[in-house]
Amino acid sequence: MKIKIFVAVLALSGLTLLCPGCKKYLELKSDSKLLVPGKLNEIQGVLDDVGQMNNQRSPSYGEACAGDFFIPEIGSLNQLVRDIYVWKKVDYRFPNDWSAGYLPIYNSNLCLELLDKVPRDSKNSLDWDNVRGSALFFRSYYFYLLTAQFGLGYDASSSENDPGIVLRLSSDFNVPSVRSSVGACLRQAIKDLSEASELLPENPLVLTRPSKAAAYAQLSRIYLYMRDYEKSLIYADKCLKIKSALMDFNGDSDISGIGLNVPFRKFNKEIVFYSEMANGFSLQAPSTARIDTMLHASFGVNDLRRAIYFRPSGKYQQFKGSYSASASLLFTGLATDEVYLNRSECRAWTGDIGGAMADLNLLLKKRWKGTVIYDPVTAVDKAGALAGIRAERRKELLMRGLRWGDLKRYNREGLGIRLERTISGVSYFLEPNASFYALPLPTDIIEIAGIPQN
């Protein structure tokens, strides 16, 4: 008999529910058909609900601001969209990235609390460990993504004071919401992942479930963001020892077709963990956004990504290279191409220039037209290696929600990247390390939870 599992539909700050009709919803009498999950398989079922845990849950505001695309007719759109486009603070409310990300956090906390009531024994130990490890992974995953969007870039000298997000470690709505520091948020994300990595299987049953490989990949991503290149390298290497497959763009079975609008098969061999970007303000939607012309021009004529990632749209180019196998949804999960790029950059930082170039060329050769001899990328020093790796990182991981965090990291390192957008001939700029890199929180969260705005 199927059991209807009751899970909170909307959890914003963990303080209250915000949606039209929520008051009426809360006043409804309880329905005996709605059961709180109590058995191990039922708790696992909450975590397996991809609509609540994976699909369109990753934040999108940062991608809308990151500068890899432009909107040709932005001047004809409404004022709110135009303000967002040029990095002005706006009054925005539910639904938003905050609500999208805190729902899986809420569900993770609920599952951890329910699991505490299920004894672990020799018969259920593997399933019990998978549930706990998965809940910790999901909580950490969205803690990090939200911190990387709503907090300033990590700096060891200031991140204990820089405001991060609300660390919800309980499903209890009565616990007050308080913003923790960026440093505390990232430590909690690492703590959760470290435990999860000890509990999860090396590879998941399905790619919407977490795994040991995914935990290592996410740890590598977080440590890279924190500019701890030695630790990021360690975890990238651990991930690639479990899963290292790359698609060959010359005709891999996971590629539907170079000329198709949906070129990749869903759950292709590079994916370590699957998640999707929320719609947000929709500026970054492939149907709206046009790829920066200089960025598109940086893809060489023998680079197969030029044909697989883009299709013409009038005078410009539209992105179609998402691993979501959708013309409209953007993949934000973990994949081996990202992990190779993490390891390549970290090897360059730690002085292993040969190893860095080996990783980069291993990836790029898989993207190169097979009928043309591939000319390996070379570098004579760390600066040259990093420049090449970062250029390819931007190209390979386009529209995955990673560029905003990379910009923060690069500017903390002194690269001084200044973003520019134009409306009706007027140029607007986002300066390096500007306070706007900690994106404004939703207005309704500020009003109800009483937490400070960025």
Q: What is the pLDDT of residues 344-365, one digit of tens each?
A: 999 999 999 999 999 999 999 9
Q: Measured between alpha carbons, how far is 159 from 276 in angstroms, rounded to an integer?
A: 28
* 148 within some domain: yes
Would 141 be classed as within a structural domain? yes
Residue 334, domain member (yes or no): no
> Stretch 173-187: mean pLDDT, rounded?
96
CA distances from 198 to 212, 213, 325, 335 (A): 7, 11, 31, 20
What would the pLDDT profile of 118-164 be if each residue is shown by its tens digit? 999 999 999 999 999 999 999 999 999 999 999 999 999 999 999 99
Q: Is the pLDDT of residue 367 over 50?
A: yes
| pLDDT value at residue 112 | 98
Determine, yes or no, domain membership for 362: no
pLDDT given for residue 34 in this prediction: 57
Contacts (Cβ under 8 Å, ≥6 apart) of 339: 217, 220, 236, 239, 240, 272
What's CA 49's distance to the chain center, in Å? 18
CA-based radius of gyration for the chain: 22
Domain with residue 424: its CATH number is: 1.25.40.390
Q: Does residue 422 lie within any of the structural domains? A: yes
**What CA–CA distance (Å, rounded) separates 68 from 283?**
11
pTM of the model: 0.94
Query: Does residue 212 contact residue 220 with C-beta atoms inside 8 Å?
Result: no
Residue 15: pLDDT band (50, 70, 90) is very low
Mean pLDDT of 391-411: 98
Q: How many domains does the chain have?
A: 1
The per-residue pLDDT for range 36-87, each reduced to its tens digit, is: 788 999 999 999 999 999 999 999 999 999 999 999 999 888 999 999 999 9
Mean pLDDT of 2-26: 38
**141 Cβ contact partners less than 8 Å away, ≥ 6 residues apart:** 104, 189, 210, 218, 275
Q: Does residue 3 surpass a pLDDT of 50?
A: no
The DSSP call for residue 440 is P
Q: Which residues contact 436 (CB under 8 A, 6 or more apart)?
A: 65, 87, 89, 430
- First-last CA distance in the chain: 48
Residue 404, C-beta contacts closer than 8 angstroms, at least 6 positions apart: 62, 63, 65, 66, 148, 149, 437
- Whether residue 335 lies inside any domain: the answer is no
Say yes or no to pLDDT of 100 above 80.
yes
From residue 300, give the alpha-carbon distance in Å to each of 284, 369, 392: 24, 10, 12
Residue 297: phi, psi to the nearest 5?
Answer: -65, -20
Measure Cα distances from 102 to 52, 71, 183, 191 in Å: 10, 29, 19, 18
| Phi, then psi, of 40 in degrees rounded to 5 | -60, -45
CA 213 to chain centre: 16
Domain boundaries, position 409: 4-245+404-449
Per-residue model confidence (pLDDT) at position 426: 96
Amino acid in the structure at residue 253: S
What span, in angstroms and rounded, lies between the C-alpha atoms of 321 and 259?
11
